[in-house]
Chain A
Amino acid sequence: MPHKDTDGTVPHGHGPMDPGPDPHAPLTENRRALRIGIGGPVGSGKTALVAALCRSLAAELRLAVVTNDIYTTEDADFLLRNGVLPASHVRAVETGCCPHTAIRDDISANLDAVEDLEAQLGPLDLILVESGGDNLTATFSKGLIDAQIFVVDVAGGDKVPRKGGPGVTTADLLVINKTDLAPLVGADLSVMDRDARARRGDLPTIFQSIAEDKGASQVAAWVRAQVTSRVAVA
Chain B
Amino acid sequence: MTTAAGSLATLLVLADGRLPAGGHAHSSGLEAQVSAGRIRHLADVDAFLRGRLATGGLVASAFAGAGCARTHAIEDLDFAFEVRTPSPALRHASRAQGKALFRAGRAMWPAPALHRPDVHQPVALGVVAAAAGLAPEQAAVAAAWHTISGPASAAVRLLGLDPYGVHALLARLAPDCDTIATKAMTYLEKSLDDLPADGAPLLDIGAEHHATWEVRLFAS
A109 and B25 form a contact (CB under 8 A):
yes
Question: At the interface, yes or no: A120 with Cβ under 8 Å from chain B?
Answer: no
B217 and A2 form a contact (CB under 8 A):
no
Question: At the interface, yes or no: A30 with Cβ under 8 Å from chain B?
Answer: no
B88 and A1 form a contact (CB under 8 A):
yes
B88 and A3 form a contact (CB under 8 A):
yes
In the assembly, what is the distance between CA of A70 and CA of B31, in Å? Answer: 14
A109 and B217 form a contact (CB under 8 A):
no
B217 and A70 form a contact (CB under 8 A):
yes
Residue from B20, B88, B103 within 8 A of A105 (CB atoms): B20
Residue from A7, A95, A97, A101 within 8 A of B99 (CB atoms): A7
Produce 1/0 per residue, A78-119, CB < 8 A to B: 000000000000000111111001100111110110000000
Question: At the interface, yes or no: A6 with Cβ under 8 Å from chain B?
Answer: yes
Q: What band does the interface of chain B fall in when counting residues whose beta carbon is under 8 Å from A?
A: 20 to 34
Q: How far is the CB of A109 from chain B (nearest CB, A)?
A: 6
Across the interface, which residues of A come within 8 angstroms of B148, CB to CB? none
Q: What band does the interface of chain A fall in when counting residues whose beta carbon is under 8 Å from B?
A: 20 to 34
Across the interface, which residues of B come within 8 angstroms of A96, CB to CB? 24-27, 154, 157, 217-219
Across the interface, which residues of B come within 8 angstroms of A102, CB to CB? 24-25
Interface residues of B in 125-146 (CB under 8 A from A): none
Across the interface, which residues of A come within 8 angstroms of B205, CB to CB? none
Which of A1, A71, A93 has its CB near the most chain B CB atoms (within 10 A)?
Answer: A1
Q: Do A112 and B96 contact each other (CB < 8 Å), given the known contacts A6-B118, A106-B21?
A: yes
In the assembly, what is the distance between CA of A108 and CA of B219, in Å? Answer: 13
Summarize A's interface: helix, strand, loop or mixed.
loop
Question: At the interface, yes or no: A73 with Cβ under 8 Å from chain B?
Answer: yes
Which of B49-57, B66-74, B207-215 faces chain A?
B207-215
Q: How far is the CB of A13 from chain B (nearest CB, A)?
A: 11
Interface residues of A in 1-19 (CB under 8 A from B): 1-3, 6-8, 10
Residue from B20, B26, B154 within 8 A of A107 (CB atoms): B20
* Chain A residue nearest to B220 in the complex (CB): A94
In the assembly, what is the distance between CA of A93 and CA of B219, in Å? Answer: 8
Produce 1/0 per residue, B3-39, CB < 8 A to A: 0000000000000001111111111000000000000
> What are 28 A-B residue pairs whose CB atoms fall within 8 Å in the complex?
A2-B88, A3-B88, A3-B89, A3-B92, A71-B215, A72-B214, A72-B215, A94-B218, A95-B24, A95-B217, A96-B24, A96-B218, A97-B217, A98-B157, A101-B24, A102-B24, A105-B20, A106-B18, A106-B20, A106-B22, A106-B24, A106-B100, A108-B20, A108-B21, A108-B99, A109-B25, A111-B103, A112-B96
Seen from chain A, the residues whose Cβ lies within 8 Å of a Cβ on chain B are 1-3, 6-8, 10, 70-73, 93-98, 101-102, 105-109, 111-112
